[in-house]
Amino acid sequence: MYMYLYIMILFIVGIYSISKYIYLYRIGKYNPYIFSKSTDQHPLSTVGLSIAGYWSTYKLLMTIKPSFFIALVFFIVFFACYTIFISVLNYLTYVKSKDRKIIVHTVVLYLIGIGFFFCLYMVNMDPHGPSSVLTNQLDQSKLITLDEDKLYLDGNTESNINNYGLVAETNDSIFYLDIEKNTLCRTDRDLSYQVVLFDQDSEKGKDTINVIGDWVFFRQGKEIKRMKIDGSNVNHLFTGYSIQMHVVGNWIYFLNLSDSSKLYKMDVNGQNREVLCDKEVYDMAIYDGKIYYSYDYKKESYLEVMNLDGTGKQLLINVKTRNMVVDKDYIYYNDVDDKLYRLSLKSNSVEALSTELIMKFVKDDHWIFYTLKAPIDSRERFKGLYRMNLDGSNVVALNSDVYLDELGLGISEDWIFYGSLSRSGTPRSTDRIKKDGSY
């Protein structure tokens, strides 16, 4: 809503300024000199218009937080018209007076405008990506450090994170997203009750739940946030579009879509941010103190592995992965053809686990649960809930008729959670079924 207000103010300022300068030029009182003492223009109105325009530009940048390229395009498109108009008036004035100072003043005006834009951008944008510097600085009283016994804990399983972290489990609780109400909830492992932990900004999507110790980390829209496991102490950590957020001990790893999908790392306070891989990473997984990641470079696909601090990078195989899950023996993944494969970490051999088009999957130590590509005439992308052994054998249909939501699947020790639609196009809800197929 406010974004349109700032755009409207910029539009009004632009139209008023253009109309005013045309009028002054026609009556012979247009002044092409900047910082001139002798002028017939109204200095207070000029200053007021400038402040309104710059303030609206500042608020617009703070609201949408664009990438540098988008901000530059906005600057060029919006201000180029205004600059060209001023240049035409200055040129016509120069033709009449033949005063070369007009040219100098025009160039200085350009430099001031460009300099102001860059200063405005740098003040409000983080050098590591389009996120607000101010909103990422927590008070000292809010800084946390996890206990020594939690430094190597994962906030969620890789399978769940691949499916937008619909559910996360601790020793005594399950945290999950109520898709219908768009709220983060908590229950016990028997699902005997429901406590709503976070229901703010219901219009913004919430996902990628990670739980470590007393803290829940999650994404909301283009923000990464954290809160206590009782729903209190909600803190903002990062602004920028991200996916595949992993919390491991005192560190958060994620792909920063607002910075060309580079692989980032920051601490659990949103500070000490750094880029671990500056390629456009499509997929990542964390297992046993290693980061596995997939990217394309010069028309070639790469699957590599590195340490959690970004050192020791090694090439595993030339393949492009999606929904990658790593265990001690294999890497399970979707290829670009939507087939499910697994790569042996011992022999580097690849085998297909199914001939079906498997769009999403999760796995535990015994089974793979998955959904298939929906029929072409369906509004949805995913249909059916199935189970098979880790080698692709013994396929069982748990529910072949259900349509699944984009959030897909999530598993706890005993349950499968999934975003469902009773039929194509109906409202979404969070459903669950036991792994053996019973309710």
- Count of CA atoms in the C-beta half-sphere (13 A) of 15: 6
Ramachandran quadrant class, 113 (left: phi over 0; alpha: psi -120 to 50; beta: rest): alpha
pLDDT, tens digit, 9 for 90 and up, residues 267-290: 999 999 999 999 999 999 999 999
Q: Lowest-pLDDT range, 3-17, 175-189, 190-204, 351-365?
A: 3-17
Instruction: Summarize pLDDT for 5-14 with one digit per residue, the tens.
Output: 777 777 787 7
pLDDT digits (tens, 9 = 90+) for 227-254: 999 999 999 999 999 999 999 999 999 9
User: For the purposes of burial, counting CB atoms within 10 Å of the CB of 180, is it exposed (0-12), middle (13-18) or buried (19 or more)?
Assistant: exposed
Is residue 343 pLDDT above 50, yes or no? yes
pLDDT bin (cut points 50, 70, 90) of residue 40 is very low
- At 368 the pLDDT is 97
Lowest-confidence pick of 30-34, 66-70, 77-81, 139-143: 66-70
Pick from 384, 331, 385: nearest CA to 159 = 331
Q: What is the pLDDT of residue 48?
A: 72
pLDDT at position 127 is 40
Higher pLDDT, 24 or 292: 292
pLDDT at 103: 66
Residue of 66 and 158 predicted with greater confidence:
158
| Predicted confidence (pLDDT) per residue in 422-438, tens digit | 554 545 788 999 998 88
For the full predicted model, state whether its pTM sits above 0.75: no
Rg (CA), the chain: 28
Count Cβ atoms below 10 Å from residue 69 Cβ, excluding itself: 10
Predicted confidence (pLDDT) at residue 94 exceeds the cutoff of 80: no
For position 125, what pLDDT does the model report? Answer: 47
Lowest mean per-residue pLDDT among 134-138, 242-246, 338-342: 134-138
The Cα 371–Cα 359 span in angstroms is 6
